[in-house]
Amino acid sequence: MPGRIVAVSMPRPDRMEAWIAEFRPLLPGFTVLPASEVRDAGAVEYAIVWKPPAGLLKGYPNLKATVSVGAGIDHVAADAEYPRGVPVIKTIGPDMTLRMQEYVCLHVLRLHRDQPRLEAAQRRGAWDQHSTPTARDRRVGILGMGHLGQAAALALAGFGFDVAGWSRSGRGPEGIAMFGAEGLEAFLARTDILVCLLPLTAETEGILDARTLGMLPKGACLVNAARGGHLVEEDLLAALASGQVSHATLDVFAVEPLPAGHPFWSHPQVTVTPHVASLIDPKSGGRVIAGNILDFEAGEEVRDLTWIGRGY
């Protein structure tokens, strides 16, 4: 009979099996099981989850901590029955940070060098030769300056971009111009390429709407690698039609997978990627998650420990 249990819940059983195979040798003293196979809910001390079913975590009376398989905890917070005294451990390891840096730099550079226009010209068989500004003359804004936002900002600054960041606190790394809660309009007004890396909270849901997009310089570009809930899709489509936004690169969507027939799929001014910006693999992610659980169990500091309701 299993003793101390780590329950795992993920939407795709095939992926969950791979994760569990990585966890088992890394968590000695625990029995790692799919949540569907747990027979003694009282033995569950940790839950490793991505988009868990509503009410699942409330059913574990001795739960010490929940681990999110990702940097966001909105999918946990979405459960109104979540046991509020139980902390959540985010998964933000070096590999995940590097993946996000790569994604942001790739797509900011792509927009900076006007690659969508060149690709459209290729499809037409047109030799559309034109110049673009240098990086120092391109203003990039990072909306959300948590761990991933700061890493992305510093990476972009390394290319020479004029980078600024926005967060409620207004705090950020040295060398990055920062705007606080009251400085959103000024931040957007100086941003040619906007990158959203905010956590999804009640305050940030729908923040990429007609009003916010309208504060950008006409013809600005958008990269959303945070959550689909940040974007009001109809407002973006209108901004693209009017020329207020010239191109949008979207990795996250209100409904995932993005439904067949959605206008984003075929829109000439939209680049769609399937939520892969910092998609972590079981091997590297397993080490980070297991290490965080063992540190928490030993009473050591866990850097990415948080609670539902904490701000951004």
Catalytic residue among 275, 287, 303, 310: 275
Catalytic residue among 138, 227, 230, 247: 227
Contact 116/108 with Cβ under 8 angstroms?
Answer: no
Look at the block and give the residue holding tokens 């992926």: 15
Q: Is 227 a catalytic residue?
A: yes
Instruction: Tell me if residue 209 falls in helix, strand or coil.
Output: coil
Contacts of 228 by beta carbon, 8 Å cutoff, 6+ apart: 252, 253, 254, 255, 256
Q: What is the dihedral of CA 107, 110, 112, 116, to 10 degrees?
A: -120
Q: Check if 287 is active-site.
A: no
Question: What element of type H or E holds 118?
Answer: helix 115-124
Residue 284, helix vs strand vs coil: helix
CA distance 58 to 81: 6
- Token digits for 263? 């206008």
- Checking DSSP bridges between strand 88-89 and strand 65-68, what pairing results, if any? parallel
Q: Write the burial class of residue 58 (CB in 10 Å: 0-12 exposed, 13-18 middle, 19+ buried).
A: middle
Which DSSP string do the residues of 146-186 spell out, in sequence order?
Answer: SHHHHHHHHHHHHTT-EEEEE-SS----TTSEEE-GGGHHH
Q: Which residues are catalytic?
A: 227, 275
